[in-house]
Amino acid sequence: MENGRINIGMVGFGTVGTGVARILLEHRELLRARLGAELVLKFVADIDTETDRGIRLDPGVLVSDARAVVDDPEIDIVLELIGGHGIAKELIERSLQNGKHVVTANKALLASQGNELFRLATEKSVELAYEAAVGGCMPIIKTLRESLVGNVVHTMTGILNGTCNYILSQITDEGVTYAAALAEAQKKGYAEADPTLDVEGMDTAHKLAILTALAYGMVINLEDIYLEGISKITPMDIQFADQFGYRIKLLAIGKDRGEAVEARVHPTMIPFDNLLSNVNGSVNAITLTGDAVGDILLKGRGAGMMPTASAVVSDAVDIARSLLTGGGVRIPPLSYLPERIRQRPVLPMDRLETHYYFRFAAVDKPGVLSAIAGILGKRNISLKSVHQKGRKTNGSVPVVMLTHLAREADVRAALREIQALDVVSDETMLIRIEDENDTD
């Protein structure tokens, strides 16, 4: 750090990197007025040094050798905006080894290898900041690490993937199929050409892995998060949900159950009066429930150039403020002191208790309903309501049932048995319900 100048080395000059450069250059004066020092973009490294990103960097700033940037002794803070596991991981490790603070938006890397990266950062007494990794510009990491520091956080319920939320909103509002909604999302740039990571829920799981570690004082554990994507959701299920006062969202759910932690990602029905049900399009939102604060909701754009860049810049400024005032690392990366972080078991899905929506494709014959209900009853799954509407498709009618609290193991066993019935065709649809108003 020179006099009133903090030197930034940015590796990765893609979408987010371009946004960060834009903020640092266009808001240079604003940042000086707030920080009292300049964040100088000393080097930007990218394998592509040719493409015009519409940003005027000083001569010599854009380079191709990222390793040289993170080795430069004059760089105070490295911004890792490449993403993924390969070179990104190497550069973060190398930066930390070199005693440099790092800001990253790389949720996939943190979810799978955050434990060792945070350990290294702590060892080297530097920051590894990651506000941009979860929820884009919603200040979810700061809220958990700082604002809720005096709270036991019981529950987190979030819409953390804009692609999925856009697709589900399209199916809901336009009545189109999943395939049509996905195609539209790809056309608009909300979904990748290969959308698997998003629509199958893995991106959401990455974020939930980070949030559960942070909130529940546990080692990051991606492997044990239950995962179910949105590709099987049909307009018919969305219409049924609507009749029952629910909307379907892909939720990341984390609950501290004491002996274990719930950590699951799946399409979920939530009631209209839950504000998350009104969060539409590519937006993210999360509800955090703490013992002192009750519910807090944060909502904002979860991805995109400028929102993510804003989060990266806020992390860089946070670090700069500590550098400028002579302080060390103020906050442990995962909120708890490293020695207080525990290996905590994730509740196996079989032991989950929740409410369920089932849609069976049943032959329209007498006795079918009672056969299904009989199997459910045998497994202690008690029904709240049964709906049979005569919309016959492929020779079968949809029979919809909503349950009282039931155990997932029982549900799965019952559905296997029901599926084996002659009178049930196609796969049965199962959607879990989160409804706080519904206490049984």
Residue 282, amino acid: S
Member of 278, 380, 382, 419 binding a copy of itself (CB under 8 A): 278
Instruction: Rule CB under 8 A: say whether 318 interacts with a copy of itself.
Output: yes
Per-residue tokens: 417:
């048995």
- By beta-carbon proximity to a copy of itself, the closer residue of 22 and 404 is 22
Member of 57, 183, 197, 331 binding a copy of itself (CB under 8 A): 331
Member of 122, 310, 354, 403 binding a copy of itself (CB under 8 A): 310
Instruction: Rule CB under 8 A: say whether 295 interacts with a copy of itself.
Output: yes
How many residues touch a copy of itself (CB under 8 A)?
64
Instruction: Rule CB under 8 A: say whether 2 interacts with a copy of itself.
Output: no
The CA distance from 74 to 28, in Å, is 20
Residues 378-407 contacting a copy of itself, CB under 8 A: none
Instruction: Rule CB under 8 A: say whether 169 interacts with a copy of itself.
Output: no
The CA distance from 102 to 93, in Å, is 9
Distances (CA, A) of 289 to 112, 215, 293, 360: 26, 11, 7, 35
Displacement of CA 25 from its chain's centroid (Å):
30
Instruction: Rule CB under 8 A: say whether 296 interacts with a copy of itself.
Output: yes
**Which of left, alpha, beta for 402 (phi over 0: left; psi -120 to 50: alpha)?**
beta
Stretch that binds a copy of itself, among 64-72, 242-250, 336-344, 347-355 (CB under 8 A): 336-344
Residue 30 backbone dihedrals phi, psi, to 5 degrees: -60, -45
With residues binned 3-state (H G I as helix, E B as strand, rest as coil), the percentages for the chain, rounded to 5, are 40, 25, 35
- By beta-carbon proximity to a copy of itself, the closer residue of 297 and 421 is 297
| HSE-up of residue 424 (Cα within 13 Å, Cβ side) | 23
Residues 120-149 contacting a copy of itself, CB under 8 A: 131, 137-139, 142-143, 146-149
User: Of 36, 42, 5, 41, which is closest to residue 21 (Cα–Cα)?
Assistant: 41
Asked if residue 300 lies in contact with residue 136, where contact means CB atoms within 8 angstroms, the answer is yes
Output DSSP code: residue 246: E
- By beta-carbon proximity to a copy of itself, the closer residue of 338 and 374 is 338
Q: At what angle do helices 368-378 and 408-419 cross, to 10 degrees?
A: 150
Instruction: Rule CB under 8 A: say whether 309 interacts with a copy of itself.
Output: yes
- By beta-carbon proximity to a copy of itself, the closer residue of 272 and 392 is 272
Asked if residue 70 lies in contact with residue 126, where contact means CB atoms within 8 angstroms, the answer is no
Q: How far is the CB of 146 from a copy of itself (least distance, A)?
A: 6
Per-residue tokens: 109:
């890397």
The CA distance from 79 to 98, in Å, is 14
Instruction: Rule CB under 8 A: say whether 99 interacts with a copy of itself.
Output: no
Query: Of the residues 42, 207, 249, 255, which is catalytic?
Result: 207
- By beta-carbon proximity to a copy of itself, the closer residue of 292 and 420 is 292
SS (HEC) of 265-302: EEEEEEECCCHHHHCCCCEEEEEEEECCCEEEEEEEEC
User: Of 5, 85, 69, which is closest to residue 39 (Cα–Cα)?
Assistant: 5
- 62's CB contacts (< 8 A; 6+ apart) are 13, 44, 45, 46, 49
- By beta-carbon proximity to a copy of itself, the closer residue of 272 and 350 is 272
232 is catalytic: no
Member of 4, 36, 175, 367 binding a copy of itself (CB under 8 A): 36
Member of 1, 68, 179, 337 binding a copy of itself (CB under 8 A): 337
Instruction: Rule CB under 8 A: say whether 19 interacts with a copy of itself.
Output: yes
Stretch that binds a copy of itself, among 54-62, 196-204, 205-213, 327-335 (CB under 8 A): 327-335
Handedness of CA 18, 19, 20, 22 (dihedral sign): positive
Member of 157, 204, 221, 314 binding a copy of itself (CB under 8 A): 314
Q: How far is the CB of 301 from a copy of itself (least distance, A)?
A: 5
- By beta-carbon proximity to a copy of itself, the closer residue of 60 and 326 is 326
- By beta-carbon proximity to a copy of itself, the closer residue of 294 and 395 is 294
Instruction: Rule CB under 8 A: say whether 321 interacts with a copy of itself.
Output: yes
Instruction: Rule CB under 8 A: say whether 76 interacts with a copy of itself.
Output: no
Q: How many CB atoms neighbour CB 386 within 10 A? A: 13
Instruction: Rule CB under 8 A: say whether 231 interacts with a copy of itself.
Output: no
Give the residue numbers marked as catalytic: 207
Binding site for a copy of itself (CB under 8 A): 19, 23-24, 27, 30-31, 33-36, 131, 137-139, 142-143, 146-152, 217, 275, 278-279, 285, 290-301, 306-307, 309-311, 313-314, 317-318, 321-322, 324-332, 335-337, 340
